[in-house]
Structure 1
């Protein structure tokens, strides 16, 4: 009987992980709807929207921060933490400002180029070896981004580059995080991000007028913060219950989820440039996963 229970419960972990990853994508889509409605439709400045989003997220995370205590704040890499925060804040600001000007579907497709900036940065700054499949994946990803941007089109506007800037900055933050996790505990890396992101966003909001949301804008800012916490928590659960190679393809569902929420909330309908561009980006992403899978198999055989 015990053996039957163990066998039947085995598939539940990857299924739960997949559900958590899909839930994270849906939560991020709701974050984007809240931010776009607050900025594009209600006129809340992007810097203020980002500040209130992460302030609410920080308040929800306070119990976890307090449990870790002062020991988790001991660091030997303050400069790297500062660089990571600057890159992360820059990415957040570019992202929220981009959502105030371009449709959700375009923004989310372009920000999916972030892993390709990580590959490029790993080769240039970390001197990591990059195989031919990853180079091909990077070329496909950037080609897909260019197709979606369509700079040759009359509808092209410079604001469409903001999600690409966000992708590049978040890619840089990921590289710094990778360097930090080699010398710092995961708790320390996470705590510094949570504790420093909000005040730096707050300083930028002060420069932009420090608008306090009221009415519907306030509820949207609260919703963005709440869904940010939910998305990150579900993301953590997904990676805790299955291998990254298994759950990563489910992360790509965030594109159709954002298209759906953008259509339901604002009536945004993607044009023809999205589909071939997104196909190239997804093809590049799957090439990266394929190379990782092949590398694991070689290590197992060796």
Structure 2
């Protein structure tokens, strides 16, 4: 195990995902969300299919119709669509901050549906993290942005995806799952385009942020996979939260956003509770092994 390089790769992956989100928001100034998600989804699926083919892995397979795979892909479709809507309609920092509750939501889902044991300390951490989401959203106040609810929908959808992934048969490759996931994202884009009644194609320089989103997203995904294979999960997983830092930097530099004190406090609550939950899990695993 090489935890240093794994942590570095995971940090780079989070930077890549933050760039992808920022490019989505840039492109959304000229193009509707349906077009963006359709292009990024299908272009990403094509590139990942090529990667899988070069590795000798099958992408077109009857395993696509495995019930758990179908649930995962539908959740991916819903979660990705919600995240794109959140990024393009709400402040980038706000949407990304709410999305950091995903690990806590996955932990709750694993406890409910997979029977994983969660101690009372981690349940408190979950409550604190979700309270942090409420601090950021501030429902019922003048600071409430209804578009931020898309990020809540994204957390729910992506949590179902991640919990389902734990039940995927081992013979189904990660490349195939990722290809299907991007394909579902493209399908979600078509559905949004149908609802919006338009699917205009980019012209000239409008392609630039879209291509940057595809390249950064694919690079981030590959770095994430490599990181998970060469490092200890419990040692490197805290670096996932660097995505929020990168998102804040890009939001300030590109979109001139200024996160308010409530967004910062809520973000600290979410990240802090997530890190504490990871610490408790690591301590539990060590006691079991010892």
Question: Normalized against structure 2, the TM-score is what?
Answer: 0.91
Structure-2 residue corresponding to 1:75: 63
1:177-192 equivalence runs, <5 A? 177-181=165-169, 184-186=172-174, 188-192=176-180
Q: Structure 2 residue aligned with 1:242, among 215, 231, 234? A: 231
Structure-2 residue corresponding to 1:223: 212
Which structure is larger by alpha-carbon Rg, 1 or 2? 1
Pairwise CA RMSD: 2.2
Q: Offset of 1:48 from its aligned partner?
A: 1.6
SS for the counterpart of 1:210 is coil
Distance 2:174 2:255 in 1: 39
Distance 2:265 2:87 in 1: 22
Distance 1:48 1:72 in 2: 25
Q: Offset of 1:53 from its aligned partner?
A: 1.4
Distance 2:64 2:187 in 1: 22
Q: Offset of 1:141 from its aligned partner?
A: 1.0
SS for the counterpart of 1:213 is coil
Rate the CA distance shift 1:257–1:14 in 2: closer, same or farther, 3 A: same
Structure-2 residue corresponding to 1:6: none
SS for the counterpart of 1:127 is coil
Between 199-208 and 155-164, report the one with greater CA deviation.
Answer: 199-208
SS for the counterpart of 2:271 is helix
* Structure 1 residue 252 corresponds to structure 2 residue 241: yes
Distance 2:207 2:179 in 1: 26
Unaligned runs of 5+ in 2: none
Structure-2 residue corresponding to 1:288: 277
Rate the CA distance shift 1:239–1:76 in 2: closer, same or farther, 3 A: closer
1:35–1:49 contact (8 Å) kept in structure 2 = yes
Q: Structure 2 residue aligned with 1:97, among 85, 89, 109? A: 85
Unaligned runs of 5+ in 1: 1-9
Q: Offset of 1:198 from its aligned partner?
A: 3.1
* Structure 1 residue 126 corresponds to structure 2 residue 117: no
Q: Offset of 1:196 from its aligned partner?
A: 4.4
SS for the counterpart of 1:144 is helix
1:1-302 equivalence runs, <5 A? 13-39=2-28, 41-42=29-30, 44-67=31-54, 68-70=56-58, 73-75=61-63, 78-181=66-169, 184-186=172-174, 188-208=176-196, 209-301=198-290
Count, aligned residues: 288
Question: Normalized against structure 1, the TM-score is what?
Answer: 0.87
2:86–2:147 contact (8 Å) kept in structure 1 = yes
1:90–1:166 contact (8 Å) kept in structure 2 = yes
Q: Offset of 1:190 from its aligned partner?
A: 3.9
Distance 2:177 2:62 in 1: 10
1:180–1:189 contact (8 Å) kept in structure 2 = no
1:122–1:175 contact (8 Å) kept in structure 2 = yes
Distance 2:57 2:3 in 1: 33
